Amino acid sequence: MPRRSRLSSLGSHQRTHLLRRLAFLTAASSALFATPAVAQSTDAWIPGVGVFVGYSFGTRTGVEWGLETFATYRFEGRGCSSTARSGMGPLVQLAAVNLDEPRVTLALQGGGELSVSSSTALTGELGATYRFGSRPGFAIHTGITPEIAIFNVSLRAQWLQEDYALTGGARYLATYGGPGYCVEGRPLRTPSGMAEVSAPLHGSGGGAVPDDDAVLLAGASWASAAQHECASVPAFLQLAAELLAHDAPDALVERALAAAEDEMRHAFLCADVASRYLGVRVVPTLPDAPGRPPLTGTAGLVRLATESWLDGCLGEGVAASRAARAAQLATDPAGQGARRTIACDEARHAELAWSILRWAVDRGGDEAHGAVRSLRNAEVAGVTEVTCAATERYGVLSASRVNAVTERHCAHSRARLDALV
């Protein structure tokens, strides 16, 4: 057989092997993580309940206290981005002054976060109130509510009744949802944007529930990490399919498939650590998000180049740096060992992204080159989940430490990009 024919036959055999491996891993991931979780990016409504208590003044004086329920439709910040969240929705309040003078309020509330990193928000209220008691009747309800995470203060007025109140309270979920932050590692991209995962499933057992707040915070962070790692499995399988569609070198496809296998292990590893800290069994689940078909031609190469830079060189590189720093600071063996494993694997995934970036820019020419350059200063989101210095012994960096590591890695990556494109 001529040499060229033999090489063609070997190449065809290898490509068939890669396609079979891709199909096997896709089926295996569905079987291992069998119960899908609903992606938050497809669920714009955020329901919640709250309590408040404070001082009432005006025609009625005393302690005002009450309960509220609400639903917020998010206009912004539903995906993995640095965009502050904002929205609007209905609000129902039941309140009383002291033990009498009850009121029922139906209102529309709306507003948004002041910034992504500070977890602060400002919400306004406008609606109608009916007051029972000694002076029953309708009133116009207005309110302004600054928030920090789940906690808030409110200044509310019932016009026509001349009732005013200054209260403090808490809401769960927060008005604009739980902490919004990008995954650590490669996110799963859908036809409509990035899929943002929901909370993992919890089973019974796993040990006694700890009474240490730092352990519980660390456990919640590890449970969230398990979901993010799980979402990275289909992300790498999708990447492998796109590389195959562009006839990329087999070595790049093999590395993408190997990364998917790594993320499967990471998901179970993070879930095991979370289960240990929380005292309940944490079960990672796949996002219920539609797959994204490969994009052909130069446009597909541009997409591979830009996403390799954003999701891999920056995102996975940051994940590796954070995990490595967390492993250095951790003293608990479970968290320390898991972070060491993740740091090593994520660093390898980041190098895969640099390899794909070089290949895609070379194939995509000036268009791919320009697209990547335009995203040179793209920001990587920090962390807005509740952490503290005490969680670092369990492999969970404090927010200030996360942001410092992120800034250093991004600066290094931009310098490396400048030398490449």
Q: Is there a single domain that holds both residue 27 and residue 73?
A: no
Residue 185 pLDDT > 70 = no
Q: State mean pLDDT over 161-166.
A: 95
Residue 80 confidence (pLDDT) above 50: no
Beta bridge partners of 92: 69, 106
Task: State the CATH number of the domain containing residue 215.
Answer: 1.20.1260
Q: Which of the four pLDDT bands, split at 50, 70 and 90, describes residue 168? A: very high
**Domain check: are 234 and 365 in the same one?**
yes
150 is written with which tokens?
């789940």
pLDDT at 190: 85
**Do 89 and 32 belong to one domain?**
no
**Residue 273's domain spans which residues?**
14-37+197-420
Residue 115 CA to residue 343 CA, distance in Å, equals 29
Q: Which pair of structure tokens corresponds to residue 406?
A: 């992120």
Q: Which pLDDT does position 11 carry in this prediction?
A: 62
Instruction: Answer yes or no: do 237 and 341 share one domain.
Output: yes
Alpha carbon 255 to its chain centroid, in Å, reads 25
What is the structure's pLDDT at 37? Answer: 39
Cα–Cα distance list, 155 to 22, 89, 356 (Å): 57, 19, 54
Question: Same structural domain for residues 322 and 404?
Answer: yes
85 or 406: which leads in pLDDT = 406
Tell me, yes or no, whether 357 and 227 share the same domain: yes
**Residue 177 to residue 198: CA distance in whole angstroms:** 11
Establish if 161 belongs to a structural domain: yes
Q: Per-residue DSSP letters for 8-76?
A: HHHHHHHHHHHHHHHHHHHHHHHHHT-SPEEPGGG--EEEEEEEEEEEEEESS-EEEEEEEEEEEEEEE
Strands 201-203 and 281-283, sheet pairing: antiparallel
Same domain, 377 and 256: yes
Q: Which residues sit opposite 69 in a β-bridge?
A: 49, 92
The closest alpha carbon to 114, from 91, 156, 85, belongs to: 85
Number of domains, the chain: 2
184 within domain boundaries: no
4 found inside a domain = no
pLDDT above 90: residue 333:
yes
Same domain, 21 and 160: no
Q: Mean pLDDT check: name the lowest of 122-126, 217-221, 339-343.
A: 217-221
Residues 331 and 377 in one domain: yes
Q: Picking from 14-18, 38-42, 160-164, 288-292, which range would have the lowest pLDDT averaged per residue?
A: 38-42
**Of the segments 186-200, 312-326, 384-398, which one has the largest average pLDDT value?**
312-326
385 closest CA partner among 68, 41, 149: 149
pLDDT on residue 98:
93
Q: Which of 47-51, 87-91, 190-194 has the lowest mean pLDDT?
A: 190-194
Q: Which of 5-9, 16-20, 81-85, 245-249 has the lowest mean pLDDT?
A: 5-9
Cis peptide before 173 (omega within 30 of 0): yes
Average pLDDT, the chain: 86
Alpha-carbon torsion, ordered 384, 267, 395, 327, to 10 deg:
-120
Q: According to the model, what pLDDT value does residue 256 have?
A: 97
According to the model, what pLDDT value does residue 77 have?
61
What is residue 96's predicted lDDT score, i.e. its pLDDT? Answer: 96
pLDDT at 363 over 60: yes
Q: How confident is the model at residue 347 (pLDDT cuts 50, 70, 90)?
A: very high
Specify whether 162 is located in the same domain as 257: no
Is the pLDDT at 118 greater than 70? The verdict is no
pLDDT at 7 over 80: no
Higher pLDDT, 99 or 348: 348
The predicted model gives 233-241 an average pLDDT of 95
302, part of any domain? yes
Above 60 in pLDDT, residue 366?
yes
Helix (DSSP H) and strand (DSSP E) numbers for the chain: 7, 14
pLDDT value for 124: 97
What's the confidence (pLDDT) of residue 387?
63
pLDDT value at position 224?
Answer: 87
Mean pLDDT of 155-162: 95
Report, as an integer, the average pLDDT of 332-352. Answer: 96
In a domain? residue 186: no
Structure-token match 């055999």, residue found:
13
Q: What share of the chain is helix, strand, coil (3-state, %, to 5)?
A: 45, 25, 25
- Residues 405, 362, single domain; the answer is yes
CATH of the domain at 59: 2.40.160.20
| Boundary of a domain, candidates 112, 138, 172 | 172
> Does 7 fall in a domain?
no
pLDDT over threshold 70, residue 157:
yes
Q: Is 187 inside any structural domain?
A: no
* 6: in domain: no
End residue of a domain, out of 116, 139, 172: 172
Q: Kindly indicate the confidence band of residue 43, based on its pLDDT and cuts at 50, 70 and 90.
A: very low
pLDDT of residue 328: 96
Confidence of residue 41 (pLDDT cuts 50, 70, 90): very low
Residues whose CB falls within 8 Å of the CB of residue 77, separated by 6 or more in sequence, listed in order: 83, 84, 85, 86, 113, 116, 176, 180
Contact present, 416 and 312 (Cβ < 8 Å): no
Q: pLDDT > 70: what percent of the chain?
A: 85
Note whether 376 and 287 are same-domain residues. yes
Burial 137-162 (b: 16+ CB within 10 A, else e): eebebbbebebebbebebebbbeebe
